[in-house]
């Protein structure tokens, strides 16, 4: 018998997404978001309030990057979630982090995070049940150190932070459990 916990957002794992955009003057702002998902092979949906400085920036500039926060930068990643760009004018500068303009979209790539999706604003979806900023992923930039010899990103090298909405912890994926389209193949054969 399972225990009833009431309505709550019981999805795990959640990512720790670092959404970065320029304002109209070219100033960098970054926010931390755990609610987001891929919604096509080259699209990402971000569930972020319209009031955020970053959302306002994206509406104006129509581009952003989404980086994956990693273990080595947990303090800064968490700070980007605590601090509001509407209230702290030097939010990005305070971390000492650096940004490089993407070569494909008008948005800053944060140098310190290992992987960035460089996105154009595709659409802002607003319905009775959903507010989502949809980005078209034009390119992905990654540090060499997180790549395997096949040129693909290796989660065990990435040390990406994982957010837990149950108790608000950050976790790491440090153990591989299996391979998709393989772990269940015996069941495909029937019995």
Should residue 50 be labelled a site residue for a copy of itself when binding is judged by CB under 8 A?
A: no
**Among 20, 44, 63, 105, contact with a copy of itself (rule: CB under 8 A):** 44
CA distance 143 to 12: 26
Should residue 128 be labelled a site residue for a copy of itself when binding is judged by CB under 8 A?
A: yes
Should residue 49 be labelled a site residue for a copy of itself when binding is judged by CB under 8 A?
A: no
Beta bridge partners of 109: 100
CA distance 125 to 143: 32
Q: Collapse the DSSP code of 29 into the 3-class scheme (helix H, G, I; strand E, B; otherwise coil) and give the result.
A: strand
Nearer to a copy of itself, 56 or 141 (CB): 141
Nearer to a copy of itself, 61 or 173 (CB): 173
Smallest gap, in angstroms, from Cβ of residue 120 to a copy of itself?
A: 11
Should residue 43 be labelled a site residue for a copy of itself when binding is judged by CB under 8 A?
A: yes
CA distance 114 to 146: 7
Contacts (CB under 8 A) with a copy of itself, residues 142-161 = 142-144, 147-148, 151-156, 158, 160-161
Smallest gap, in angstroms, from Cβ of residue 158 to a copy of itself?
A: 6
Nearer to a copy of itself, 24 or 82 (CB): 82
Contacts (CB under 8 A) with a copy of itself, residues 97-126 = 103, 109, 115-117, 122-123, 125
Pick from 48, 29, 46: nearest CA to 37: 46
How many C-beta neighbours within 10 Å does residue 187 have? Answer: 8
Q: Are 134 and 147 in contact (CB under 8 A)?
A: no
Q: Binders of a copy of itself: how many residues, by CB under 8 A?
A: 107
Should residue 18 be labelled a site residue for a copy of itself when binding is judged by CB under 8 A?
A: no
């Amino acid at each position: 018998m399972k225990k009833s916990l009431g309505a709550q957002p019981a999805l795990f794992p959640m990512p720790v997404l670092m959404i970065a955009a320029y304002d109209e003057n070219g100033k960098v702002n970054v926010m931390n978001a755990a609610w987001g998902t891929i919604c096509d092979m080259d699209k990402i949906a971000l569930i972020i309030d319209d009031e955020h400085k970053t959302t306002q920036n994206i509406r104006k500039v129509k581009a952003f990057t989404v980086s994956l926060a990693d273990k080595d930068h947990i303090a800064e990643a968490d700070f980007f979630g605590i601090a509001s760009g509407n209230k702290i004018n030097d939010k990005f500068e305070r971390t000492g982090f650096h940004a490089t303009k993407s070569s494909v979209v008008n948005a800053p790539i944060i140098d310190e995070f290992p992987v960035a999706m460089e996105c154009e604003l595709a659409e802002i979806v607003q319905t009775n049940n959903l507010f989502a900023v949809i980005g078209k992923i034009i390119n992905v930039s990654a540090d060499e150190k997180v790549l395997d010899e096949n040129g693909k990103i290796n989660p065990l090298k990435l040390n990406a932070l994982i957010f837990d909405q149950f108790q608000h912890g950050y976790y790491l994926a440090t153990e591989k459990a299996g391979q998709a389209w393989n772990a269940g193949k015996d069941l495909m054969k029937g019995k």
